[in-house]
């Protein structure tokens, strides 16, 4: 399971509501291919998303194993929710299906959890939120993940959830200025709730954050969602 340099290659895949991205990481987690992207198929049913991943995989050369960040709750490779994809994902054994298709071992984790694994320092309370089609969240204590924390669908303000207030639909409807004001309120509310040492903000729309951020809040690039893929095999 090794290449000419004795290194295991991991295909890292990030499934989002608007795009599916992939690239190959070496054993240290360093990217060794260019990131490839295709639009998320619509309707985003399991078989067509698996086809899209297979297409991306073909463009990435040789790899030995696969890590996937999925935009919903994932338990033991089975997808339990998929608010921004399709209801056919509920109860779907994704890890097994993708492993059979690619003929490689596959591990699947929530997308925000994977992004967090690529971002955290591993000390203290670290919270990660992702701003994209949906609102992702991940919590770590001394580097240990509290899995599947679905803050996006939790009440935030005005009878709406974090995702309803800060997801891409709200950003497009209300514009960047209002969305940034909402985000500022969300950051304050999360600081009160978690008293985190550091909050990381990632996801495709993090580039639109235009705020004076507190010192313990950091923007992270969207590629972090793929970099976290190496951590899924650390055991
Ligand atoms: C899902 C989360 C996901 C987030 C970002 C939410 O709608 O429920 O599981 O992490 O979107 O993709």
**What's the pLDDT tens digit per position in 168-199?**
999 999 999 999 999 999 999 999 999 999 99
Residue nearest to atom 8 of ligand 1 (CA): 72
Residue nearest to atom 10 of ligand 1 (CA): 136
Residue nearest to atom 6 of ligand 1 (CA): 134
Distances (CA, A) of 125 to 95, 200, 212: 30, 11, 22
pLDDT at 162 over 70: yes
Q: What residue ranges line ligand 1, CB within 6 angstroms?
A: 71-72, 81, 83-84, 110-112, 130, 132, 134-136, 150, 152-153, 163
CA-nearest of 227, 233, 232 to 32 is 227
Residue nearest to atom 12 of ligand 1 (CA): 71
CB under 8 Å to 99, separation ≥6 — which residues? 66, 105, 106
Sign of CA dihedral 173, 119, 35, 42: negative
pLDDT at 5 over 90: no
pTM, rounded to two decimals? 0.96
Q: Which neighbouring-strand residues pair with 83?
A: none
pLDDT at 9 over 70: yes
Side-chain half-sphere exposure of 125, counting CA atoms within 13 A: 8
Ligand 1 atom with the smallest distance to the CA of 137 is 10
- pLDDT by residue (tens digit) across 81-125? 999 999 999 999 999 999 999 999 999 999 999 999 999 999 999
Distances (CA, A) of 184 to 165, 207, 210: 12, 15, 10
Distances (CA, A) of 4 to 9, 69, 86: 11, 28, 40
Decide: 208 and 202 in contact? Cβ < 8 Å.
no
The backbone torsions φ and ψ at residue 88, rounded to the nearest 5 degrees and listed phi first, read -65, -15
Q: Which neighbouring-strand residues pair with 67?
A: 12, 107
CA-nearest of 85, 130, 95 to 232 is 95
pLDDT band per the 50, 70, 90 thresholds, residue 235: confident
pLDDT at 158 over 70: yes
Q: How far apart are CA 45 and CA 15, in angstroms?
A: 12
């Amino acid at each position: 399971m090794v290449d000419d340099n004795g290194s295991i290659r991991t295909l890292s895949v990030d499934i989002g509501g608007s795009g599916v991205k992939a690239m190959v990481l070496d054993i240290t987690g360093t990217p060794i291919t260019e990131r490839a992207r295709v639009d998320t198929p619509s309707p985003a049913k399991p078989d067509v998303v698996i086809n899209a991943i297979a297409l991306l995989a073909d463009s990435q050369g040789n790899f030995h194993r696969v890590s996937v960040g999925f935009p919903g709750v994932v338990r033991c490779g089975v997808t339990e929710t998929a608010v921004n994809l399709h209801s056919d994902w509920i109860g779907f054994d994704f890890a097994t299906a993708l492993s059979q298709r690619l003929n490689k071992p596959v591990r699947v984790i929530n997308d925000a959890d994977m992004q967090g694994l690529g971002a955290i320092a591993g000390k203290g309370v670290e919270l990660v939120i992702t701003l994209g089609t949906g609102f992702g969240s991940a919590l770590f204590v001394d580097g240990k993940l509290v899995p599947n924390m679905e803050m996006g669908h939790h009440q935030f303000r005005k009878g709406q959830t974090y995702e309803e207030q800060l997801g891409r639909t709200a950003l497009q409807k209300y514009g960047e200025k209002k969305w940034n004001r909402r985000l500022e309120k969300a950051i304050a509310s999360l600081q009160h709730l978690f008293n985190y040492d550091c909050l990381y903000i990632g996801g495709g729309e993090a580039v639109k954050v235009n705020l004076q951020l507190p010192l313990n809040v950091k923007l992270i690039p969207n590629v972090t969602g793929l970099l976290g893929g190496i951590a899924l095999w650390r055991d």
